[in-house]
Amino acid sequence: MYPIILRDPDTTTKLLEAIVESPNGRRSLSRLARTCRAFSEPALNILWRELDSIAPVIGLFPGQLLKKSRKPGMGLSRLPREEDWKAIMKYSERIQRISYDETANNIAPSIFSILEECRPTTYILPRLQELTWKVETAAALERCTIFLHPDLHTINLDIGSKFQKISDFLTDMSSRTKLKGFSFTSPTYLPDNFTELLARQDALEKIALVAPGALSPGVGRWVASLPHLKHLQLDLSGRSPIAVEGFFDQLRPSSGDSTPSSIGSRDSGVFSGEELDFTEIRKSALRLTGDLPSKGSFTTLKKLQLTGEVANIAVFLKHLDHAAITCLELVIEDPPDKADWQDLSELICEHLAESLQVLRIAATPSSKFADLVRSTSRAEPPTGRLSLERLVGLTSLIRLDIDLPESVVFTPADIQSVAEACPNLEVLRLCPLARFPPPHSPKITLESLSPLMLNCRRLNTLAIVFNAAAGSDKALTSRELSSKSMLRLHVGHSWAHDPLQTSILLSHLMPKLELLKWFQEKNRVGFIEGHAKTWQAVSETFPHLQLLRATERSFVSIPPPPPPPSKPETSEKIVDATVSTTSRGVFAEVQLCDAAIQFSPVLVSQEVEAKPEHVEISVDATPQVLAVPGVSAKPSSPDSLGSTTNTDSIPLETLVLQ
């Protein structure tokens, strides 16, 4: 009969994953798989689920087939037969993620040709979901095609600079897969037809582009058109703000850009043979005025990873005002410019206050060089300060993680701002690896953490470097400063002088604390033996004070609840509750009435005289006669031939009558 824990597969998986993540976890889980039959299958699934090399797969061949049994990647002594593949076929279905690094030089190139020619099935790893391939040559890149299959979800490519036909590989990869995640890292430029090669990959949920040309307008349009995009990673290092804004150029409306007065136009409005480019000036005005209309793109984006200068990151985030980002990871140049950092802090609080849940800030590899300088004997004291006073309204933030090598100085005002801005914070890490060589002590004291205990009632993990000075009477007498949720504390290289006073204040602020960690390695840079011994004494006395406080608080008199009200006096009495009824008859007769009505029309005779009326009116129709001088009318007729009549004075009517 199997143990009770095996009856729930999810619980079993969580338990085995916790074992793997512990120190020497893989070795412990391997022993468990070999010694316990009930745990064998679940443990093997966890062990073989993710491999950082192909060597374990090659090691499944029979020992006599390997050139060196301790180094299976050195090659095979002969071609494998069908029965030699049994172990590989048995474990291949458990493998979900696998990686290959050509620079490790632990796999002979001849092995890939043998796998491709002698494989018993079409796909060697049929359930492979994620493939990570880091190569420097084109031949090594072609070898990953034997692991491509239609059910592959994610491909992570990290290639060198010696590639001439990367377009051919991308075409083949895109035709054979339907990916959900794609990562491309290269020091060379992306192919000109990069978006056309990946046009078939419309189901992508994760995109990571760390290569020159990743900020081109065409790539920006293609990334914004992905309907299921949830995770985006871009490298903004070494780019100008204009280049960062160019990523969004083909997303903005084109109306008005052709006019000289438009901010996005290149036209200065002056006819000249040597036309000047006013793009940078106009886009600077665009950043100041904020006149760029919102695009409404990246609405499904949840996780964003950006690398580069703080100013470039701020320019990029300005265009994501419609994105509900829940996780923001920034890799910045340390130390950042103070003005740019303040602008970025305000921008994060303005655009992502309602949705942001996780905020991680780390340093670029080039910025960590300053940490190496500080680790020498001539190291200067830490002076870089990362102000957190501009953080406001991050009510959804549950995790804040800042890990910078130079900007490690925080003040009590920063702690107060974080406590007020992030009331639902659960995990807070503020440069836990910071070092403060004497005489420069941390500006934060243990009592300075009291605002976190007061406002952040869900805070359970805290990693910060502070000076554990004795607490004031006001802090020790305030019960509101005791956190019931605080469970884990990592103090790093924190200062401590008096173990008893430190334990007293710590047991008051964090009475439920279960884990206290500090750096104990003497060979660690920044190690101070006196402080380490003090923290060792604190860890020994703290449990006793913790138990004492819990016992004392249990003795606190709690007023008893008020007694229940007394019951009223009652007495029993018999009452006759018989219902009296009466029968009664009612005579209901309908009264009827007959009525007769005589209807007779009344006729009337009437005569009407229709005689039209006549009216006589006399009108003087005498025409007006005008005398025209010098005109004579001489009618000729048979009766009056040879006679002449003067008609100058005769009226017209007389002439007509004649």
Instruction: Looking at the structure, tell me whether residues 489 and 434 fall in a common domain.
Output: yes
Instruction: Name the strand (E) or helix (H) holding 167.
Output: helix 166-176
Is residue 122 situated within a structural domain?
Answer: no
**Token duo for residue 572:** 């029993």
Instruction: Looking at the structure, tell me whether residues 246 and 357 fall in a common domain.
Output: yes
pLDDT band for 44, please (50, 70, 90 cuts).
very high
Indicate yes or no: pTM above 0.85: no
DSSP state of 484: S
Instruction: Looking at the structure, tell me whether residues 356 and 423 fall in a common domain.
Output: no
pLDDT, residue 645, reads 43
* pLDDT single digits (tens) 270-304: 444 445 555 556 555 555 555 544 445 788 999 99
pLDDT at 457 over 90: yes
Place of tokens 């440069």: 431
* pLDDT single digits (tens) 501-539: 999 999 999 999 999 999 887 767 777 888 899 999 999
Instruction: Looking at the structure, tell me whether residues 541 and 444 fall in a common domain.
Output: yes
Instruction: Looking at the structure, tell me whether residues 388 and 430 fall in a common domain.
Output: no
Is residue 234 situated within a structural domain?
Answer: yes
pLDDT at 622 over 90: no
Is residue 167 situated within a structural domain?
Answer: no
Total domains in the chain come to 3
Which of 32-46, 137-151, 532-546, 611-625 comes out lowest in average pLDDT? 611-625
| 3-class SS string, 88-137 | HHHHHCCCCEEEEEHHHCCCCHHHHHHHHHHCCCCCCCCCCCEEEEEECC
Please state, as a whole number, how many other Cβ atoms lie within 10 Å of the Cβ of residue 143: 21
Rounded distance between C-alpha atoms, residue 214 and residue 185, angstroms: 10
Instruction: Looking at the structure, tell me whether residues 499 and 461 fall in a common domain.
Output: yes
Is residue 188 situated within a structural domain?
Answer: no
Query: 213 exposed, middle or buried (CB, 10 Å; 0-12, 13-18, 19+)?
Result: middle
**Token duo for residue 76:** 């095979």
Q: CA 68, 69, 73, 78: dihedral to nearest 10 degrees? A: 70
Task: Write down how long the chain is.
Answer: 658
Where in the sequence is the domain holding 25, given as residue range(s)?
1-48
Best CA proximity match to 461, nearest among 519, 528, 539, 514: 514
pLDDT at 334 over 90: no
Cβ atoms of 189 and 215 closer than 8 Å: no
Best CA proximity match to 248, nearest among 284, 218, 283: 218
Rounded distance between C-alpha atoms, residue 111 and residue 113, angstroms: 6
Instruction: Looking at the structure, tell me whether residues 432 and 541 fall in a common domain.
Output: yes
Distances (CA, A) of 443 to 412, 467, 536, 589: 7, 7, 22, 106
pLDDT band for 657, please (50, 70, 90 cuts).
very low
Distances (CA, A) of 409 to 268, 440, 495: 47, 11, 14
Please state, as a whole number, how many other Cβ atoms lie within 10 Å of the Cβ of residue 204: 21
Which of 160-164, 191-195, 464-468 comes out lowest in average pLDDT? 160-164
Instruction: Looking at the structure, tell me whether residues 436 and 356 fall in a common domain.
Output: no
Instruction: Looking at the structure, tell me whether residues 244 and 388 fall in a common domain.
Output: yes
Percent of the chain with pLDDT over 90: 45
| Cβ-Cβ contacts under 8 Å for 410 (sequence gap 6 or more) | 385, 386, 388, 430, 431, 442, 443, 444, 464
Rounded distance between C-alpha atoms, residue 592 and residue 600, angstroms: 26
Instruction: Looking at the structure, tell me whether residues 334 and 245 fall in a common domain.
Output: yes
Instruction: Looking at the structure, tell me whether residues 365 and 422 fall in a common domain.
Output: no
Instruction: Looking at the structure, tell me whether residues 428 and 362 fall in a common domain.
Output: no
* pLDDT single digits (tens) 388-444: 999 999 999 999 999 998 888 999 999 999 999 999 999 999 999 888 888 888 999
pLDDT, residue 441, reads 87
Cβ atoms of 80 and 114 closer than 8 Å: yes
Place of tokens 């010694």: 35
pLDDT band for 448, please (50, 70, 90 cuts).
very high
Q: Which of 519, 536, 554 is the last residue of a domain?
A: 554
Q: Which of 535, 554, 573 is the last residue of a domain?
A: 554
Tell me how far apart the 2 most distant CA atoms of the chain are, in Å: 170
Beta-bridged to residue 330, according to DSSP, are 306, 361
Rounded distance between C-alpha atoms, residue 458 and residue 211, angstroms: 40
Is residue 640 situated within a structural domain?
Answer: no
Q: Which of 508, 530, 554 is the last residue of a domain?
A: 554
Is residue 596 situated within a structural domain?
Answer: no
Is residue 585 situated within a structural domain?
Answer: no
* pLDDT single digits (tens) 567-581: 888 888 888 778 888
Residue-wise DSSP of 45-58: HHHHHEES-SHHHH
* pLDDT single digits (tens) 570-610: 888 888 778 888 888 888 888 888 888 877 888 888 887 88
Is residue 483 situated within a structural domain?
Answer: yes
Alpha helices by DSSP H, listed for 180-232, are 194-197, 217-225
